[in-house]
Amino acid sequence: MLVLVPCGRVEEKKNQDWRAMQSPARQAVFQRLGEFGMTDLESHLKFEVSYTPHSWIKMYNLTKGAAFGSVSHNFLQVGYLRPQNRHPHYENLYFVGGSTRPGNGLPLALISANLTSERIFKEVAIPEQRRKLSFVSAKFVLEAELVE
Ligand SMILES: Cc1cc2nc3c(=O)[nH]c(=O)nc-3n(C[C@H](O)[C@H](O)[C@H](O)COP(=O)(O)OP(=O)(O)OC[C@H]3O[C@@H](n4cnc5c(N)ncnc54)[C@H](O)[C@@H]3O)c2cc1C
């Protein structure tokens, strides 16, 4: 069983004690699950692993340990206002993933890969034959992920 508890990001200037927050968060989870009828879950636990935003920094180098990356989906960070997938000055430098367009989360990160590769194919002259092959494999991965 995996339980995701929404929380803030790491703020170096704030006095955050993630370890201290874990115990009350854990209790709140069991209490909530108890309200749904899972009253004896805790006694059946064989092992337990718990992560904090610092875990994501250490494991994946995520900015501020934020699970959905450094750019959120607020009004000023979506659509045209979101960082574009090509560098504004170095025109042969492209970006892909949750912090560029269209957004974060696995499905959008995959769409980002598709959009960026299409853009590279269009802007950097790639022979037609290779271009078709790469489109097919990128689309296959994307469709498989969306079906799941
Ligand atoms: C706990 C958790 C739960 C999540 N749950 C969901 C969910 O249910 N649904 C959903 O859609 N999304 C979920 N997400 C978000 C989703 O994982 C991300 O939005 C998505 O993975 C972003 O893809 P990305 O390719 O941009 O970055 P990442 O998947 O973070 O890939 C970046 C890669 O670059 C590597 N890297 C970082 N820095 C360096 C460096 N300096 N040098 C070399 N390599 C480096 C990292 O190790 C990583 O492998 C979750 C994230 C977390 C942490």
Interval 50-103: pLDDT, tens: 999 999 999 999 999 999 888 888 999 999 999 999 999 998 899 999 999 999
What domain range includes position 81?
A: 75-147
Report CA(60)–ligand 1 centroid distance (Å): 7
Ligand 1 pocket check: which of 7, 60, 70, 116 to mutate, most ligand atoms within 8 Å of Cβ? 60
Residue 69's closest CA among 109, 121, 24, 127? 109
**What tokens does 116 get?**
């960026």
Residue 2 maps to a domain: no
Q: How far is the CA of 27 from the centre of ligand 1 (A)?
A: 28
Reported confidence tier of residue 38, pLDDT bands at 50, 70, 90: very high
Same structural domain for residues 92 and 142?
A: yes
* Residues 117/89, Cβ–Cβ less than 8 Å: no
At 144 the pLDDT is 61
User: Which pTM does this prediction carry?
Assistant: 0.80
68 and 105 in contact (C-beta within 8 Å)? yes
Ligand 1 centroid to residue 143 C-alpha, Å: 19
Q: Looking at the chain, how many residues does it have?
A: 148
Whether residue 104 sits in one domain with residue 55: no
How close are the terminal C-alpha atoms of the chain, in Å?
Answer: 19
At 113-131, the pLDDT tens digits run 999 999 998 888 666 656 5
Whether the CB-CB separation of 115 and 84 falls below 8 Å is answered with no
Q: Are residues 27 and 90 in the same domain?
A: no
